[in-house]
Amino acid sequence: MKNKYSVFSLIKNAFSYHENWQRAWKDPTPKKEYDAVIVGGGGHGLATAYYLAKKHNMKNIAVVEKGWIGGGNTGRNTTIIRSNYLWDASAGLYDHALKIWEGLSQELNYNVMFSQRGVMNLAHNLQDVRDLKRRTHANRLNNIDAVYLNTAEIKKFCPIINTSPDIRYPVLGGTLQQRAGTARHDAVAWGYARGADEMGVDIIQNCEVKGIKRIGNSVEGIETTKGFIKTKKVGVVAAGHSSVIANMAGLKLPLESKPLQALVSEPVKPIIDTVVMSNAVHAYVSQSDKGELVIGAGTDDYVSYSQKGSHQIVEGTLNAILELYPIFSRMRMLRQWGGIVDICPDASPILSKTSIKGLYFNCGWGTGGFKATPGSGDLFAHTIANDEPHKLNVAFNLNRFVSGDLVDEHGAAAVAH
Amino acid sequence: MFIINCPYCGERDQQEFKAGGEAHIERPKQPTELSDDEWAGYLFMRKNIKGVQFERWNHAHGCRKWFNMVRDTSNDEIKLIYKMGEKPPSE
């Protein structure tokens, strides 16, 4: 049984100089057989394991991770959470996640630092204005909070934005989702890992999957660097490396893996208390609790697993940031990094069964998967446990690329993906 | 970010180029006879290899010609560049 985190445990541990905190999760050696194995120990994978154990009573399960948990895209994203997507299917999916976020710290007894500071999306031309107004209406029909702001209202909500009409891409308006915001990305992985571990889930780090064993058309187990693990159900949540795992099983996925970059500045005093995104000029910025500006850049257009991106991508983003926020002109950037994101042709994820019995994929989140972490885990757990999708992820099946029933959020959400 | 040796212009910065995705995906010769599965394969399914991959690139801000590239996607190292229409190397 895990000790509960509270102000009292904090005080108690202060007396022993914080040297005797209980391990948040064990470091087990893999068993010979599990009822299900999740491949990928990022936020989505750990959340899947957590909900499999909690809601579907599958306790004999494992998460295998080739590196350390939360060391991939979970620790590399810009932590933005929102649900203001255009299409009904996406709105259902992302708002399901947002609702779980709202109670997640309490549920996990782990402070994920969820902060509903609002997310603004800016419009810079007439088409942007029309698109954002349309999306605001669509959101409200889906019971998602959204308001359209004019330029003066934007200036009032975030005074450091340059709303002068003579900049290259003037701010003509924008949308605001107040329930949206940010969370502490590592804490989400750690909180789910601790919660899953407590229910008996084996979290096996430094364990890379090398092959998927099949008998006929059914999964029999996985070959890993720590030996063969027998299991009838494999849920792959490998983000940028999804295609690598799919190729092991002889499947092709509609994915391309590309580098996505982000960067943070030196820490400064509070200057921006919301998240501002602009799709047209591709710049988005928020401020972490440490005081760093967190800036997201775009993807490169070529396939790469190198976790590096091109310099001109960062340069383009910073050009836009400086035009919109002249006050940042003398800020120095502290760190820059890349993550590998798996992008679907329709910019919507895949949470689906496959043609192979017992093999499930949760992938294609592209550049915006962090926000969906709790919902993705919940729905994927449902899909694995019941061998049927939940009604909220039925639209995100793999077959949509054959039927043509795509969930085309590319640009439709009018935000940076 | 890397330098690409355009077969027509010589070495140029990568930002002059546009990646065109996986190479040697042939347009179906009999489109009317394709099943939905085959269409999905042609339009959407990609190998997305981690390792040596065959790709198309376009010198968009240069000669605007297309060419093929063999590149290791795990470290962005370019192995070979050859013109459109030329046979891909066997290894």
DSSP B41-76: HHHT-B---SSEEEEEEE-TTTT--EEEEEEETTTT
Say yes or no for a CB contact (<8 Å) between B1 and A312. yes
Nearest-CA distance A348 → chain B (Å) = 13
Q: Once rounded to an integer, what is the mean pLDDT over residues A12-23?
A: 94
Place of tokens 């750690």: A190
Asked if residues A324 and B29 have their Cβ atoms less than 8 Å apart, the reply is no
Task: Give the other-Cβ count within 10 Å of A359's Cβ.
Answer: 21
Cα dist from A87 to A175, A348, A352, A408, B15, whole Å: 16, 11, 19, 8, 34
Helix (H), strand (E) at residue A174: strand A173-177
The DSSP secondary-structure symbol of A161 reads: S
Q: Examine residue B50 and state whether it is found in any structural domain, yes or no.
A: yes
Q: Is residue B16 part of a domain?
A: yes
In chain B, which residues have their Cβ closer than 8 Å to the Cβ of A302?
19, 55, 57, 71
pLDDT for A295 beyond 50: yes
Chain A residue with CA closest to B16: the answer is A312
Q: Inform me whether the pLDDT recorded for A412 exceeds 90.
A: no
From the list A255, A301, A402, which residue is nearest B18 (CB)? A301
- B51 assigned to some structural domain: yes
Contact A243 B1 (CB under 8 A): no
- Across the interface, do B1 and A247 touch by the CB < 8 Å criterion? no
> Does any domain span residue B88?
no
- Name the residue type at position A100: I
For residue B75, being part of any structural domain is answered with yes
- Is B25 among the domain residues? yes
Strand partners, A39: A64, A236
What's the whole-model pTM score?
0.95
| Token duo for residue B50 | 């981690």
Residue-wise pLDDT for B23-78, tens only, equals: 999 999 999 999 999 999 999 999 999 999 999 999 999 999 999 999 999 999 99
Range list of H helices, A109-143: 126-141
Contacts of A255 in chain B (CB under 8 A): 46, 48
Ramachandran category for residue A232: left, alpha or beta (phi over 0 → left; psi -120 to 50 → alpha) = alpha
**pLDDT at residue number B90:** 78
pLDDT band at residue A210 under the 50/70/90 scheme: very high
**B89, part of any domain:** no
Strand partners, A290: none
User: What whole-number distance in Å separates Cα of residue A151 and Cα of residue A172?
Assistant: 6
| Alpha-helical segments (H) within A232-294 | 242-248
Q: Which of B19, B37, B50 sits opposite A305 (nearest CB)?
A: B50
Q: Which of A252, A303, A348 has the most B C-beta neighbours within 10 Å, making it the best mutation to test the interface with B?
A: A303
User: Least CB-CB distance to B37: which of A243, A345, A402?
Assistant: A402
Of A254, A303, A305, the CB nearest to B45: A254
CA distance linking residue A78 with residue A285, whole number of Å = 9
Q: Residue A190: which of A99, A259, A105 has the closest Cα?
A: A105
Give how many domains chain B has, as a whole number.
1
Residues 6+ apart with CB under 8 A from B12: B3, B4, B5, B6, B59, B62
Of A302, A402, A403, the CB nearest to B19: A302
Average pLDDT estimate for B5-31: 95
Mean per-residue pLDDT, A316-341: 94
B55 in a domain, yes or no?
A: yes
Q: What is the largest CA-CA distance in chain A?
A: 66
- pLDDT (0 to 100) of residue A414: 47
Chain B residue numbers touching A253 (CB-CB < 8 A): 45-46, 48
Q: Which residue of B has its CA nearest to A247?
A: B47
Neighbours of A250 (CB within 10 A): 10
pLDDT above 70: percentage of residues in chain A: 98
The answer to whether A289 contacts chain B (CB < 8 Å) is no
Inter-chain CB proximity A401 and B40 less than 8 Å: yes
Nearest C-alpha in A relative to B52:
A304
Boundaries of domain holding B68: 3-83
Separation CA A295–CA A303 (nearest Å):
22
Neighbours of B33 (CB within 10 A): 8
The answer on pLDDT for A378 being more than 50 is yes
Closest residue, chain B, to A340 (C-alpha): B74
A10 φ/ψ angles, rounded to the nearest 5 degrees: -65, -45
**Residue B21 maps to which CATH number?**
3.30.2270.10
Cβ distance B73 to A303 less than 8 Å, yes or no, reads yes
pLDDT in tens, A234-290: 999 999 999 999 999 999 999 999 999 999 999 999 999 999 999 888 889 999 999
- Confirm or reject contact between A252 and chain B (CB < 8 A): yes
> In this complex, is the C-beta atom of A301 within 8 Å of any C-beta atom belonging to chain B?
yes
> What value does the mean pLDDT of chain A take?
95
The answer to whether A244 faces chain B, any CB pair under 8 Å, is yes
Q: Do A252 and B75 touch (CB under 8 A)?
A: no
Contact A119, A416 (CB under 8 A): no
Name the residue in chain A with its Cα closest to that of B46: A254
Tell me if A254 sits within 8 A of B22, measured CB to CB.
no
Inter-chain touch A254–B46, beta carbons under 8 Å: yes
